[in-house]
Amino acid sequence: MMELVEAHESFGGVQEVWRTKSLTLDCDTTIGVYTPPLAKIGQKCPVVFWLSGLTCTEQNFITKAGAQKAASELGLIIVAPDTSPRGEHVPNDDAYDMGQGAGFYLNATQEPWVRNYRMYDYIVNELPALVESHFDAASAVRCISGHSMGGHGALMIALKNPGLFRSASAFSPIVAPSKVPWGQKAFTSYLGDDLSLWAEYDTVELIRAGLNPSLPMLIDQGTRDDFLEEQLQTQRLAEVVGDRPIEIRMQEGYDHSYYFIASFIEDHLKWHAEQMKKPQA
Amino acid sequence: MMELVEAHESFGGVQEVWRTKSLTLDCDTTIGVYTPPLAKIGQKCPVVFWLSGLTCTEQNFITKAGAQKAASELGLIIVAPDTSPRGEHVPNDDAYDMGQGAGFYLNATQEPWVRNYRMYDYIVNELPALVESHFDAASAVRCISGHSMGGHGALMIALKNPGLFRSASAFSPIVAPSKVPWGQKAFTSYLGDDLSLWAEYDTVELIRAGLNPSLPMLIDQGTRDDFLEEQLQTQRLAEVVGDRPIEIRMQEGYDHSYYFIASFIEDHLKWHAEQMKKPQA
């Protein structure tokens, strides 16, 4: 059962928010869906999945990123899920960087998180199937992007699932969660002490291990981002790029906010649209 | 004393929020200011004043309208003040449509509002002077726009002050506050029962009285706006347009939200930029 929570005309298309029961997360969850005008005339559209950062719901991206204009022009659907399971029965934590609002796009192996905290499976399996059955989505023409914790999710999930996404991009991503305080705190609580399990959710480690070597990746990172030095450490990604098709752009003066995302989201959507047009091997 | 509260790089320019003590409002007030990249190289830029609607602060417009991209390209400064006086010592009301967040851009004549509720004088006198002394604003090259209650403010203030603004536009404006519940409630409380005083703050009445007949005006109104029939009544404006340079566009399917504003703000900014380029009589 899909329940329509909001619908707003936007750049000739429509920005909706849907609520549905997720079997994977074992809770109700919300999903922002922008459908471009092309879909109104029956055309199936490529899908951009957007993963948001710590503390966010689907609202942050759909109200602040200004992505609808470019999505309208390029004929892209944008799917923006919540960042974690939610609800009174879902375990939580008082900290902003644990529990609800901080799912880290992984499958938890430690209690009390095991039952609900399965954002990895949700994004990889349940969400794409739901999108392709309920919206005017082209079959299997997908890309993924995200911000901060969601940048970690986008890059990591695309690396681990060759063929699922044609391209992956990120704004201010946590590229090496195993090495930084946000990631170490979350991974310890959700995954326990097994560092080999941490490596399975760590973009830098996945690249080092050679996964999905032809995946096109685009990363934008602001030079005035307060989290750059301690939590993001973009240079750790730069060090392992090798000859992969990965572009990392340091954007002078930009910070960690949605003002940064808004300034470059059109670039990212155009880039993804190009990647999704390329013939598949 | 101007205190910088926030600053974010945005489309090559900078989105700032300033706090300052307003002598007119007798309280501290915040102001969103977007400065385009042109100003960084010393050019003085035309200024768009944006007045927001009920319940809003400066944050709604600067985070949700997506106006920075067009302002960056067109070389416009955008100044978005708060919608009312604020603070513990400022009279308030529990309703969302009275008191703080609901200043209606007038000078109150009734208690307890008289001391602080002087948004009309603030927008007409204090704010333009402050902007031209603190930012890279061209001298007296101004236009004004707004949404809902702020659309009322923009049109009404521009009509009453020929020469102050080169052009006025609005999204979903309250065009006839004297005739609709929001306006009647606010005017009764702020202004008392003197209907001749109400008429001085009523766009339709000001046009009927012949004020500022050459003022270019552009109005966008969504056809699916839940407030259209009862509170906005755009047809009352259409009835008095006559041969004035006023364009009213009914936008099919759009509602009262910032998704509507975001969809057409670029149009408005381009239109204002054209108006401000015209030689002055």
- The CATH number of the domain holding residue A86 is 3.40.50.1820
Distance CA B171, CA B268 (A): 9
pLDDT at A279: 81
Name the token pair of A132.
């392709």
Distance CA B85, CA B105 (A): 10
Q: How far is B264 from chain A (nearest CA, A)?
A: 8
Predicted confidence (pLDDT) at residue B187 exceeds the cutoff of 70: yes
Q: Convert the pLDDT of each residue in A228-274 to its tens digit.
A: 999 999 999 999 999 999 999 999 999 999 999 999 999 999 999 99
Catalytic one of A82, A97, A220, A225: A225
Distance CA B77, CA B64 (A): 17
* Bridge partners of residue A81, in order along the sequence: A31
Best probe of the A interface among B63, B228, B258, by most A CBs < 10 A, is B63
In terms of residue numbers, what domain contains B92? 2-277
* Total domains in the fold of chain B: 1
**Of A122, A140, A138, A130, the residue nearest A1 (C-alpha):** A130
Q: Over the Cα atoms of chain A, what is R_g?
A: 17
Q: Convert the pLDDT of each residue in B143-182 to its tens digit.
A: 999 999 999 999 999 999 999 999 999 999 999 999 999 9
Chain B residues in contact with A253 (beta carbon < 8 A)? 9
Average pLDDT, chain A: 97
% pLDDT > 90, chain A: 96
Predicted confidence (pLDDT) at residue A280 exceeds the cutoff of 80: no
pLDDT at B250: 98
Residues A152/A179, Cβ–Cβ less than 8 Å: no
Q: What is the rounded average pLDDT of the residues A156-182?
A: 98
Chain A residues in contact with B266 (beta carbon < 8 A)? 69
Distance CA B39, CA B206 (A): 36
- A100 domain-assigned: yes
pLDDT at A77: 98
Predicted confidence (pLDDT) at residue A191 exceeds the cutoff of 70: yes
- A139 domain-assigned: yes
Distance CA A159, CA A144 (A): 11
A271's enclosing H/E stretch is helix A258-277
Chain A residues in contact with B255 (beta carbon < 8 A)? 8-9
* Bridge partners of residue A144, in order along the sequence: A49, A168
Residue B279: DSSP 8-state: P
Dihedral pair phi/psi, residue A111, rounded to 5°: -75, 150
Best probe of the A interface among B69, B171, B259, B269, by most A CBs < 10 A, is B259
Name the token pair of A203.
């973009």
Residues B176/B198, Cβ–Cβ less than 8 Å: no
Distance CA A169, CA A171 (A): 7
Distance CA B56, CA B66 (A): 16
Residues B12/B37, Cβ–Cβ less than 8 Å: yes
Contact at CB, B254 and A9, closer than 8 angstroms: yes
pLDDT at A281: 62
Q: Convert the pLDDT of each residue in A94-105 to its tens digit.
A: 999 999 999 999
Q: Convert the pLDDT of each residue in B72-126 to its tens digit.
A: 999 999 999 999 999 999 999 999 999 999 999 999 999 999 999 999 999 999 9
- A281 domain-assigned: no
Q: How far is A281 from chain B (nearest CA, A)?
A: 37
Helices (H) and strands (E) in chain A, counts: 11, 9
Contact at CB, A259 and B9, closer than 8 angstroms: yes
A225 labelled catalytic: yes
Tokens 């954007």 belong to A251
Is the ipTM higher than 0.95? The answer is no
User: CB distance from A221 to chain B under 8 Å?
Assistant: no
Q: Convert the pLDDT of each residue in A112-132 to its tens digit.
A: 999 999 999 999 999 999 999
Dihedral pair phi/psi, residue B116, rounded to 5°: -105, -30
Best probe of the B interface among A10, A15, A270, by most B CBs < 10 A, is A10
Distance CA A33, CA B260 (A): 16
3-state secondary structure of B245: coil
* Bridge partners of residue A49, in order along the sequence: A79, A144
Distance CA B187, CA B178 (A): 8
Contact at CB, A66 and B66, closer than 8 angstroms: yes
Our measurement of the distance from residue A42's CA atom to the centroid of its chain's CA atoms, rounded to an integer in Å, reads: 27
Distance CA B36, CA B27 (A): 29
A249 CB-near residues (< 8 Å, 6+ apart)? A218, A219, A220, A221
* Bridge partners of residue B221, in order along the sequence: B250
A88 CB-near residues (< 8 Å, 6+ apart)? none
Residues A272/A143, Cβ–Cβ less than 8 Å: yes
Neighbours of B242 (CB within 10 A): 10
B268 labelled catalytic: no
Predicted confidence (pLDDT) at residue A278 exceeds the cutoff of 90: no
**Of A65, A80, A77, A78, the residue nearest A38 (C-alpha):** A77
Cα-Cα end-to-end distance for chain A: 36
Q: Convert the pLDDT of each residue in B196-249 to its tens digit.
A: 999 999 999 999 999 999 999 999 999 999 999 999 999 999 999 999 999 999
Q: What is the rounded average pLDDT of the residues A273-280?
A: 90
Q: How far is B99 from chain A (nearest CA, A)?
A: 26
Residues A262/A64, Cβ–Cβ less than 8 Å: yes
Chain A residues in contact with B254 (beta carbon < 8 A)? 8-9
The DSSP-derived string for A97-164 is: TSSTT--TTSB--STTTTTT-BHHHIIIIIHHHHHHHHS-EEEEEEEEEEETHHHHHHHHHHHHSTTT
- A206 domain-assigned: yes
Least CB-CB distance to B259: which of A9, A254, A259?
Answer: A9
Q: Convert the pLDDT of each residue in A39-65 to its tens digit.
A: 988 899 999 999 999 999 999 999 999
B225 labelled catalytic: yes
User: pTM (2 decimals)?
Assistant: 0.95
- A250 domain-assigned: yes
Taking phi over 0 as left and psi of -120 to 50 as alpha, with beta for the rest, B15 belongs to beta
pLDDT at B281: 62
pLDDT at B58: 97
Q: How far is B64 from chain A (nearest CA, A)?
A: 5
Contact at CB, B259 and A224, closer than 8 angstroms: no
pLDDT at B280: 75
